[in-house]
Each structure stands twice: as structure tokens, then as C-alpha cells.
Structure 1
Amino acid sequence: MRRKRLFTSMVSLVLIMGLLAGCSGNGNNGSSGNAPKPGEPSPSTSTGEPVKLKMWGGVPPESGPQEVINAWNKEHPDIQVEYVRFVNDDEGNLKLDTAMMTGQNVDLFINYTISQAGKRMESGLAADLSQFTDYNIDEKMGQDAKSWQIDGKYYGIPTTKSPFFVALNKDALDAAGLKVPKDWTWDELREYAKKLKSGDGYSFIQHTEPFVDPIDSILSQEGYTKPDGSSNLDHSQVKNWLEMLNVMMKEDQTTPPLGEQLTSKMPVEQEFLSGKVPMLNIGAWLLRSSNNFTDFPRDFKIAFAPVPRLTGSADEYVTRGGLGDYISINAKSKNQAAAWEFLKWYADGGMAPMAAGGRLPASKDADQDAALKSLLGDKSSTYDLDSLMYVMFDSKTPTYVRSLAQEVMDIRAQEYEKYFLGTSSVDDTIAAMVTRHNEYLKQNK
């Protein structure tokens, strides 16, 4: 936690510096004034040399990005793109922000959360895409795109469908006589976990990042604050979620205790793909590993179920997902027009090879058949295709994109970790969350 807070502080410092630097630009997008107007050639084209762009993203190049870049470069000798990989964690995002602040070559970059995109916009690093009038983001990507608007504008294009799901060992389910759910609750998942548990092993696993998705599915709709403006982190379902996960850790022993997961740096995807743990709460990026039989050999079929709901009817449920991979153009880039041409091509289907890593194109004009072929490769027989199609394409459950401020997410995590580690009661944990959230709200009126 100390390391995480350090990086958060460093990122904040870098962004504040950028905000001050951005004030010297002209216009609200933080442009340096040297970028061409939309439709004009980039200054470097006058030399006869190709425009050179650098795109920064968090996916390993061999998992799709390099194939995308190679295809573009072959078709567009006048605009050549280089892919630069950064790890999507605190340190990696700091590396990206620092590169932009210090004038290193960054023309396009991928934001993986709306909070990252918002901070970069405020610091003058993300160009306002309303300057380009030849691409309708709402029409191309649908209504879910609006969750990525910042102050009513787009500072990037959300390019992927980002379904979250519970991956299931279909062979283990069949042996236990359990069906693949299409609608279920966390209480029902708990019962599945108990029936699938074998010996001292675990039967359900997840990264720590989606721990809070069950309560965010509720609070994203009902509000993180009450009508009087005070914290809503004492919502009844917050306690329900805390106690549900805690009992699975300590009483049922079906999911790893938080302390064990943190100290061991448990490789949850490997635990699932090795067949040790039959249920995994994750997103579509799992396919990047599950298609890789060299590093993750497996002899079982994978099925897919929606992420469970805490309570209420299915009609009221909103799940995490929607659109993702929000690609922005650096407002300080001298090659914005060229970057825009690449971004449109990428969003409308050029990104199809990214599906091999579970990143399905969101644009209505993308070739979904090509994306599905890339997604499955030659491994289609190792998946339960009916359930895969349901969670990827057919589910009509509304989605949300987590937009809670990073500071509040940190506050929550610091307090609920105390509960799961056994140093705080559930009531004291909730009280501390509320107190600290209220203090944050007062400071940020």
C-alpha cells in the first residue's frame, strides 16, 4: 500500500506540473499551437518523408498490437506507426505521463480507466476530438460510449467491448452436476463454490481489482453520495458484500484469504488455467492466456457466466463492462491529423487482431466475424461456444464504467483490507470508509 500511495503521489505531482504547462497552450485542448488543423497535412509530410507516430498501450505487442501496426504500415507508407508498450499499473502509467510531460514522442495513448483519462485531459495531454467532424463516435460505438465523455466531450475513442464474466471449468461443472448459469446471485455462486471445492483447494478466485465490482454495480446507479451530499458507502449492500466475501475466505475456505493473495502475489489466471481452481472472476483479456497452450496448457473446456448480482431482480442489475481501451491523441503532438487517420482506421476494424487477446472491436462498422475468428484462433473446440457468445454478444444486461475518483477507491481499499485481514470489524470498517469519504467530499467541493 505504501508503494501504491507513493506512485499515486508521484503521478499527481507530474500531472500538476502538466496542468501548469498546459496553461501556456492555446485552446481548451492544451494544444501547443503547432498541430495542423484537421484535414491539413502534417508538417513533416512536406519533406517527402513519412509521418512517424508512436502509440503507447498496455498490451504486449505480440498479443495483437504489433500485427495491427504491421497491417497499417503496409497499407500506409506515408504514415508509419511504432507501438510502445507500458505496463498498465501505477509505475507504467507514471512512465507514460512523464513521457508526455517531458516532450518524448507520444502521439496516441490508451487510457484504461475514465479517471486516468480525466486527469490527462485536465493536464492538457488529451486533445479534444470535437475538432474532428468526420467521425460520429456515438453513432459508431452506440450509447455506451457516452460513459467515456468528460464534461460532455470526447477526449478519446472507446474502441473495445469489455465484457466481464466468471470463467468456469466446464468439465468440473459437469462432474458436479452443475449447469452454466445465465443469471445468478453471489449467494448462488457461493453454493457453486462449496460444491466445487476439492480438499484443501480453492474453488473461486479473482484479482483484487474487481473485488468491489458488486457494490459498484449498485452505487454507480444509486449514487456514491446520498441526497444530502454525504457518503453512501454505508449502503446496506456494502455490508452484504463485505460479509459475503469474508465468509467465503474464512468459513467456507473456497476463495483465498486476502493476506495470502497479497503476500503470494497469486497468479490467478494460471491457477484457473492449470485446472487447480474451477471458477475465475475476470474480463475478456483472459482469452489472451487461455488461447496460449504453450505457456498455459490445459485439458478442459472453458464455459462463461455473467458476473453475479448481489441482490434484486435481473431486470434491475447493471454489470461492469461496456466499452474500454479509450484511445486519446496527445494534445501536444505535432502530428494530430495523421494520428486521427490512424485512430479512425483502428477503431473501425483495423484492431481486429486485438481480439486474440479478448479485445473485441466496438464499432458497428468493424468486421465481427473477423474479430471472432481472431478471438478463437484454432482453439474454438476448447470453449463452450454457446456461453461464450452469450456473455460476449447476446447478454442484454446494462453496463457501467467505473468512474469513481481514484482517491476514493484508495480510501475504500485501505479500509476493507483491514476487515479482510482481520484487524477491523465490519461495522468499524464501514464507519471508517464513510468518515474518510465525507472528509474527501468536503475537501473537494
Structure 2
Amino acid sequence: MNDKKWVLGLAAAMIAASALTACGSNDDGESSSSPTAGANKEPVTLKLHTYGNEQSYNWKKTIAAFEQKYPNIKVEVIGLSEKGDTQEATKKLDLAAASGEQMDILMFSDAAAYAQRVGLGMVEPLDPFLQKEGVDFASEYKVDTLMNGKYYALPGKFNPWYVLLNKTHLKEAGLEVPKDWTWDEFMDYAKKLTKTENGKTRYGTYFHGPQNGGWLEFMKLGLVNQEENADFLKADGTSNLDSPLFRKSVEMRVKMEKEDQSATPYAEMLSQKLHYRAQFFNQSTSMIVIGSWMNTELGGTDQFPLNFEVAVAPIPKNSPSDPSGFAPVTTDYMAMAAKSKHKDEVYTFLRWYTTEGQIVQAKNVPSWKKVSNEDLAQLIDTILSGTKTPEKVDKTSLIAVLSGAKSSKIIPPVTFQAEIYKAINEEFELLILGKQDIDTMIKKSQERTQKLIDANKK
């Protein structure tokens, strides 16, 4: 979806769609600055375009609860992918927009899809609605969705990254479950947890990336726990690869694999097509850095039964004095279609869904800050109850990490993001496979990234 030609083609399609629906969003006389629609004169039906399937999002129960509270607003769920494939769903969403279909509520799975469609004019700013309701975004939500000085979406779920720990291995090594730690301590844990028996090594940790231009979170481990500039580019679009924290990320990966021999070799990950679920649940590694979408699997599944105790720790910090809790976070960007003729009702749904609706849905931890500790504990109980052996999960550590997690400030993705990822991935592979040194790897990554920035300047 980051390919420049695709975006240009999509832009042309959107312009065509705009011409087809040029009447705009207020041709019914409604004011786009009126924030709520609790008791409307006439019933309206909103269309929710989503990549989320019934199994993952519990739509029937969720929509029924909303319609019971707001009987004059009906919501029709338009599923864009039965298997929950976000790429398939995004392409279908764009085609629906280009054909002029009714669109009211839009759901994006990642910041890139969200940012691109904001740029194409598909999404309505929510600031007038928030202001009229008197909502202070920062006091309400954990995930920052600010784009170009405006809020175009409200965040749904809150899936911060964390460290999954084999608690049984920790006990054997005499190690405590970390509540607040640094990357140096993480590296020390990995060394102490690494164990070789009968010629087979159980590694302290396993990194699932980068690979094939994806999973680049594993190339910025020292950056992701920052409040600002937590990515390869800064908010102003300039390169962030001169940051000492990028160098630290690279050096840590090399040290753990080559010197400490506490991380699963990168070459093994590629050649054996390893996957983080199997590595962790089969106890080939003791720790993995991963996203909290794993909450629904922590207690074991049919495919990966749990034969040990599991605990959770926060993403490590660079130094003990750094603020705690910052981590990469995935969310659902819940947005209002710019062409919707029912903006007040859409806003009513967005606010309900991203607050109490998340509790009703009971599938994910919400981004809503006003979830009580009691509600969070009940949600975790509900989520874990869907696993095979929830009693083996250290629930206290899980709740502590999730309640303390924070999202870094969003950096709007660029259209050539995938090309940057590919360049850094390629240079890292040359490094980790012994074909260049760290200085060369960083220098070439900086040069290739800068060329991409220069080539894509308007």
C-alpha cells in the first residue's frame, strides 16, 4: 500500500469519486459541527466499513448494544475481508470509495493506511465535534492520532508491545519478573536464560525481524521506547538514523547474536522459516518482544498448548532515568467518512465505540483512559478465558504492563515507507551475515534513506 504509483492511482480514483459525489456531506442541511445525535427525528442507517471479522470483533453483540442505547441509529457492518486481511480490506475500501458507495464509518488498521486516506480527503476532521462536546483528547485516549494538527480518528483497541517471558525458565535461573528494566538488563537476562544441552541451544531471546522489509520494529528497539522521534524518520520528514539510539539498536542485535550468543541466529530464522509463536510456546526461547495481540493466546491454544508459566514485562528502557511505559502500539483508527451525510450520528457511534463500546466488545484492551482497574481486570479475565490454561498466566504482571503502557507520538508515514524499510533490512542482513561492519551498515542506511527522502520531495 506504500507504493508511490499505487497512491497516485488511488488519488486519481478518489478525484473521480469526488466528482460523482460532489454534493458533499452537508446536502441534507445537517451541521458538521453538531457533535451528538442521541434522539434524532428520523432513524438513519450508518455503514461501517471494516477489515475486522465477527470472530475477532464480536460485531453482532457490539452493534446490538449500541442500537439499544441509540434506537434511532442503525449500523450495518460491511466486512471487507472474511479472514481479517488488512491489505485485502484496504483495497476493497478504496474501490468502494471510488465507486461512490455510501460510507459513514471507516476503520483503518495501521497508521500508514490512516495517513494516506487523510491525505486523499476521504476522512473528516473530528475537532469541531470534540470541541462541541468538550472532549480533551489527551485526557480520553492513550493513542495519539493527531495528523497535520487535527484529529481525524479516535483509537479503538490498545495493543502495546511487551516482552513475553517463560516464567518457569526465570524461576530456574533465579530471576524475577521485571517490572521496570533497561535493555542492558534484558541482555543480561538473555545470557542467563540461554542454555545448551545435548548439542541443542535454548536461546534467551528470539527476534522475529527484520525480514523481507517487514517487522522493522526489531531494527529500532532503542527508539521505540521514546515519547517522540520513535521511528526512522522524524515528524518533519527528515532522517532519524543519525540518532545514537538507532546505533544502539543495531549494536545490541549484533552483540546478542555474535558475542553473547543469547539470541537465535538471524540466519536460522530465515533458513528455517522460524515463527515467534512456535519459538516461544515450544520453549526454544525464553523471551520474545512482541505485540499484545498475543493476549488472546497467552494461556495456550489448540495449536500451541501452554506447558509452562507465562509472565509479561514492559518494553525495556535505554537508561534507568527514562520514563517508563513507552512502546510501539497498534490500534484501530476509527474515522468519519468525509462524504457521510450523517456526521452527527457517525460521531455518536465513534465516541460510544471507542469508550464503553470497547468494554461491551470484550475482545481487546481499550485505548480509552477511563477504563477502571476493575473493568480492565474483568476484560483480561474474559480474554484469557478463551485460552486453554489461563491459570498459567501471571495476570498481575499482564495487567500492570497494559495499564502502564503509553503510545509514542504518531509520526505520519510517508508514501515511500516500504522502500526505507527495504533499504534498512538489506543493510542489516549484510551486517548480521558478516558481509559489512556496523559503521558501514549505518552509513549506507543513512545514505539510502536520504536518497529516498530527496527523490520524494514535492
Q: TM class, shorter-chain normalised?
A: 0.7 to 0.9
Give the structure 2 partner of residue 302 of structure 1.
Answer: 310
Mark the CA change 1:404 to 1:121 in structure 2 (over 3 Å): closer, same or farther.
closer
**Structure 1 position 360 matched with structure 2 position 369:** no
Between the aligned partners of 1:8 and 1:196, the Cα distance in structure 2 is: 42
Contact 2:142 2:369 in 1 (8 A): no
Amino acid at match of 1:267: H
Deviations 1:112-164 (A, max 9, x none): 3333322111101111113425444425744755x321122111112333332
What is the correspondence of 1:204-353 to structure 2 with a 5 Å cutoff?
204-208=205-209, 209=215, 210-217=217-224, 220-221=228-229, 231-262=239-270, 265-291=273-299, 293-309=301-317, 311-315=318-322, 319-321=326-328, 324-353=331-360
**Structure 1 position 110 matched with structure 2 position 107:** yes
Higher helix proportion, which one? 1
Between the aligned partners of 1:182 and 1:40, the Cα distance in structure 2 is: 41
1:327 positional shift: 0.8
What is the correspondence of 1:156-167 to structure 2 with a 5 Å cutoff?
156-167=153-164
**Structure 1 position 20 matched with structure 2 position 18:** no
Deviations 1:163-182 (A, max 9, x none): 32101111111111111112
- Residue 49 of structure 2 aligns to a residue whose secondary structure is strand
1:353 positional shift: 4.6
**Structure 1 position 369 matched with structure 2 position 374:** yes
Mark the CA change 1:402 to 1:196 in structure 2 (over 3 Å): closer, same or farther.
farther
Contact 1:156 1:326 in 2 (8 A): yes
**Structure 1 position 410 matched with structure 2 position 419:** yes
Contact 1:109 1:330 in 2 (8 A): yes
Give the structure 2 partner of residue 3 of structure 1.
Answer: none
Deviations 1:331-379 (A, max 9, x none): 12344333222212112211115553x4324142x45533431322236
**More moved, 147-156 vs 103-112:** 103-112
**More moved, 238-247 vs 420-429:** 420-429
Contact 2:299 2:391 in 1 (8 A): no
Give the structure 1 partner of residue 151 of structure 2.
Answer: 154
**Structure 1 position 84 matched with structure 2 position 79:** yes
TM-score (normalised: structure 2)? 0.78
Contact 2:327 2:408 in 1 (8 A): yes
1:278 positional shift: 2.0
Amino acid at match of 2:55: E
Mark the CA change 1:256 to 1:52 in structure 2 (over 3 Å): closer, same or farther.
same
- Residue 202 of structure 1 aligns to a residue whose secondary structure is strand
Give the structure 2 partner of residue 37 of structure 1.
Answer: 31
- Residue 164 of structure 1 aligns to a residue whose secondary structure is strand
Count residues in correspondence. 428
Deviations 1:77-130 (A, max 9, x none): 541331525445545433333333333454322233333322111101111113
Give the structure 2 partner of residue 202 of structure 1.
Answer: 203
- Residue 285 of structure 2 aligns to a residue whose secondary structure is coil
Between the aligned partners of 1:277 and 1:148, the Cα distance in structure 2 is: 35
Between the aligned partners of 2:379 and 2:305, the Cα distance in structure 1 is: 19
Give the structure 1 partner of residue 212 of structure 2.
Answer: none
Between the aligned partners of 1:229 and 1:394, the Cα distance in structure 2 is: 29
CA RMSD of aligned residues (A): 3.8
Mark the CA change 1:159 to 1:200 in structure 2 (over 3 Å): closer, same or farther.
same
Contact 2:203 2:285 in 1 (8 A): yes
TM-score (normalised: structure 1)? 0.80
Give the structure 1 partner of residue 443 of structure 2.
Answer: 431
Between the aligned partners of 1:111 and 1:223, the Cα distance in structure 2 is: 20
Unaligned runs of 5+ in 2: 210-214
Between the aligned partners of 1:40 and 1:231, the Cα distance in structure 2 is: 39
Mark the CA change 1:335 to 1:202 in structure 2 (over 3 Å): closer, same or farther.
farther
Percent identity, aligned pairs only, is 25
- Residue 80 of structure 1 aligns to a residue whose secondary structure is strand
1:288 positional shift: 1.9
Contact 2:227 2:408 in 1 (8 A): no
Mark the CA change 1:201 to 1:360 in structure 2 (over 3 Å): closer, same or farther.
same
Contact 2:206 2:287 in 1 (8 A): yes
Unaligned runs of 5+ in 1: 1-5
